[in-house]
Structure 1
């Protein structure tokens, strides 16, 4: 029986090897063998501080997006989890539907909304709140808004899943033992659900590090991310250096994921 259970892991392991391990190893080999073994691409990356600035900006943007998604998504997920089952299904559908749309399309929508002649500026000018259009496009704020809107459903689903795993009897037991509603929420519900929230934030962070279309569409020159540079070098037929940038991004993203998970565990322990 135990051997049969181990066999069930094989399809998942095969998928991980095919779509994660093999591409990562191939990227590493491409960065180190161009065509012979050399560390020239990593040396060039180390010597060009501009690339480190872009890498730092990429990680910073991803961390901010992950934090905002966790901050906004947690109360939304909690509200959904407290609704009747049928209402929960429909509310989850509202977050699921945008995920079926391309991130490119959702990024273009923000151009229509917050562009110089977009809907927001037209409405504000029509009600005389402003005299001239506000500059909302091609700013860092626009990048954050667009990326949070794209990634928020992932955070909500992860937080909601963690909350549904919390046994309601534990909350009732805390109330019976004299805990006030706020205490039961802080000392029981939050620590048990925060791990799912940190997992969602880690996923959002990891995916956000790879964004390049959205910053290119709604951000300015100061908002270029490492994905844009990787695309640039691939188009310029410089795959070795592009692979080195990819390895640097992957290593930084893994460190960020570990940091987020550690912070989630630390917060959970502090709340108990």
Structure 2
């Protein structure tokens, strides 16, 4: 009480001695100083997120729309094609421009690399460029004769579809990679059409990846919920021992755990040998190099990511709710369904989202255990990054996967988000 009566006169004295403007300025400076301190505390985190998260994603999105081959290697051709209307064959000037730049690439020994890059969109571009370069190099082309000469070397130069394909590749930025990632392409009239059935790959693989991720998430929920419940309700000594067993996989490498599943699931592995010795099977089961092996191995690897969020939520559930329900005559089953399970839903949903996102991007386990039929979309992204070097297509596929995951998370947050959860 004494302090309150002492401080109040002091504040009044300060407010009386300082002019109103000076007092307001002092308060503003103090507020700005506090905001600056708060911002400085957040700067390291913002810098980390920007450098290691936002910038890589931005670079990936930019790379997915880049198509610089024609505009960089054949800039005059790209500029001329941009002005070509596409209703009839180009004029002699455009033929001459293409011919001269093909010869220049041949002299610079860059024609093979340029043809390979163009081949990713236009399937016969490399052979067309090489054949045209050889034909033009072996002849003396008089001015005004590039049209007839190039058409005579290869009939494809006399088709509007060939020029239309080149026109679509002329801009430095285009949606070509996204079309390829969605099994689409430009036809000879410049319209977007589906790829031939034999070349439709990515959409089916993407759907299969999402279905596999959902299945693995469901399995982890079914297997992880009872385990998390035991960890939250058993005595501390037993619970701590089980928690060590749950955390044990984190102490070993992902590659080691995947290799262990390869030893277990292979034709002469532990599981097949055990079943054979028990007389349950006559020949080894196909447990590896298929989707079954991928799902089993990934479920085991991702299970701790489901258990830990559920355990943290279940551990914080107040037991007085369940005791009150029992005291009012509710059965154990009804108490669990209407009281305990709704309270544990935040942990279940958090674990489900975490497992689903991790499952959509897994690479090592499907590559080693899944084989050809057990691969997911991440394996194709890695293939284009490491083998085919089609980084634009890899970036487009990864961007589409990112967008799908963000949309699904937004739907989840709107439908079954934590704010929408109510006690049943």
> With structure 1 as the length reference, what TM-score do the two structures score?
0.90
**1:19-63 deviation per Cα after TM superposition (whole angstroms, max 9, x unaligned):** 322221111011112333221111222315311111111111111
Structure 1 equivalent of residue 180 of structure 2 = 44
Structure 1 equivalent of residue 358 of structure 2 = 207
Structure 1 equivalent of residue 399 of structure 2 = 247
Deviation of 1:239 (Å): 1.1
CA contact (8 A) 2:293 2:370 kept: yes
**Distance of 2:376 and 2:201 partners within structure 1:** 11
Structure 2 equivalent of residue 225 of structure 1 = 376
Structure 1 residues not aligned, in runs of 5+: none
RMSD over equivalenced CA pairs, Å = 2.3
Structure 1 equivalent of residue 66 of structure 2 = 33
Deviation of 1:193 (Å): 0.8
Deviation of 1:183 (Å): 2.0
CA contact (8 A) 2:291 2:375 kept: no
Deviation of 1:244 (Å): 0.5
> With structure 2 as the length reference, what TM-score do the two structures score?
0.59
What SS class does the counterpart of residue 76 from structure 1 fall into?
Answer: helix
- Are the structure 2 counterparts of residues 241 and 72 from structure 1 closer, same or farther at C-alpha, using a change threshold of 3 Å? same
**Distance of 2:344 and 2:47 partners within structure 1:** 31
Structure 1 equivalent of residue 79 of structure 2 = none
- Are the structure 2 counterparts of residues 79 and 8 from structure 1 closer, same or farther at C-alpha, using a change threshold of 3 Å? farther
**Distance of 2:244 and 2:203 partners within structure 1:** 40
**Distance of 2:224 and 2:42 partners within structure 1:** 32
Deviation of 1:269 (Å): 5.0
- Are the structure 2 counterparts of residues 265 and 177 from structure 1 closer, same or farther at C-alpha, using a change threshold of 3 Å? farther
**Distance of 1:67 and 1:263 partners within structure 2:** 18
**Distance of 1:171 and 1:164 partners within structure 2:** 14
- Are the structure 2 counterparts of residues 13 and 190 from structure 1 closer, same or farther at C-alpha, using a change threshold of 3 Å? farther
Deviation of 1:271 (Å): 6.7
**Distance of 2:310 and 2:377 partners within structure 1:** 29
**Distance of 1:162 and 1:209 partners within structure 2:** 25
Structure 2 residues not aligned, in runs of 5+: 1-30, 69-171, 185-194
**Distance of 1:125 and 1:99 partners within structure 2:** 32
**1:245-264 deviation per Cα after TM superposition (whole angstroms, max 9, x unaligned):** 11011112223334455564
CA contact (8 A) 1:59 1:253 kept: no
Number of residues of Structure 1 aligned to a counterpart in Structure 2: 271
- Are the structure 2 counterparts of residues 61 and 141 from structure 1 closer, same or farther at C-alpha, using a change threshold of 3 Å? same
**Distance of 2:413 and 2:221 partners within structure 1:** 13
1:59-208 to 2 correspondences below 5 Å? 59-208=210-359
**1:84-126 deviation per Cα after TM superposition (whole angstroms, max 9, x unaligned):** 2232222111111102222222111111111111011112222
Structure 1 equivalent of residue 48 of structure 2 = 15
**Distance of 1:203 and 1:105 partners within structure 2:** 22
**Distance of 1:184 and 1:165 partners within structure 2:** 17
Which is bigger in relative contact order (C-alpha 8 A, separation at least 6)?
1
- Are the structure 2 counterparts of residues 5 and 96 from structure 1 closer, same or farther at C-alpha, using a change threshold of 3 Å? farther
- Are the structure 2 counterparts of residues 84 and 218 from structure 1 closer, same or farther at C-alpha, using a change threshold of 3 Å? same
CA contact (8 A) 1:31 1:243 kept: yes
Shifted more, 227-236 versus 1-10: the winner is: 1-10
**1:147-200 deviation per Cα after TM superposition (whole angstroms, max 9, x unaligned):** 000000110001101111212222223333443322222112111111111111
CA contact (8 A) 1:215 1:225 kept: yes
